[in-house]
Amino acid sequence: MNIQLFSKNALVGAATQGIGAGIAIELAKCGANVTVMSRNEDKLKDFVSLLPIVNADQKHEYLVADFSDFESYKKTITDYFSNHSIDILVNNTNGPEPGLALDKNAEDYQKAFDLLFKTVCETTLLALPHMIQQKKGRIINVSSLSVKEPINNLALSNSIRSAVIAWAKTLSNEIAQHNVTVNNVLTGYFDTERIQNLINHEAQQTGASTEEIKKARENKIPMKRLGKPEEYGHLVAFLASEYSAYLTGTSIPLDGGLNNTY
């Protein structure tokens, strides 16, 4: 299978590190023109300069956007789509703060809703008119295994990501007739800054060492290791390609077999 995304324009959120970076690099390797979003312009500049160029017409760009400030984000993304169109949208944001349900209040959930749901909804609805007009498009949501089984200490993420999945399935049914697909990737444990932050938070709460916590997580996974960001990119590249044209409305676990142990 030779995935070619030449002349395709992709927009990838939270893409200067971790899973987002793995996705952006793989899409670029497949020939797509990749625009990466993050709030740190210096990191964006450095990262864009490192993205692969595999054909003469390929061009990569960046967009400074703060997912944690929805009103600011809305203006930024609206301005972007006023003079850009894309073929591939990868909705990915940084996760909300960890914590127990008993420790969170309504304001915390509203902030998480703005971060995880409203940004996805706003960006997708702005990207869709062009996709529908050209009768082709790919929307890929980076989500979590927590929509299958809530993960301890992630009350905000557990709640809001489930809403995104339900919305995405509803949307996929409505736009399938236009050959625009919507799929979700349910993320397991990957070797990223996010997982390290969660491990550090758990260590502070429990008194266990970070090494012990990491090893315990790996032992839960049938493959006995964390995933690699580039492995995530491989799946997203497939979902962005013509090979996935008949695949929509799905939520695909990418977790080394962990989902099967629930």
Q: Give the pLDDT confidence of 113-155 residue by residue, as tens digits.
A: 999 999 999 999 999 999 999 999 999 999 999 999 998 889 9
CATH number of 9-190+228-261: 3.40.50.720
What band does 95 get if pLDDT is binned at 50, 70 and 90? confident
Mean pLDDT, range 79-95, rounded to an integer:
97
Q: For residues 133 and 179, is the Cβ–Cβ distance under 8 A?
A: no
Query: Which residues make Cβ contacts (< 8 Å) with residue 175, sequence separation at least 6?
Result: 128, 131, 132, 182
Q: What are the domain boundaries of the chain? A: 9-190+228-261
pLDDT at 261 over 60: no
Strand partners, 142: 185
Least confident of 12-21, 189-198, 216-225, 229-238: 189-198
Structure tokens at 100: 């127990």
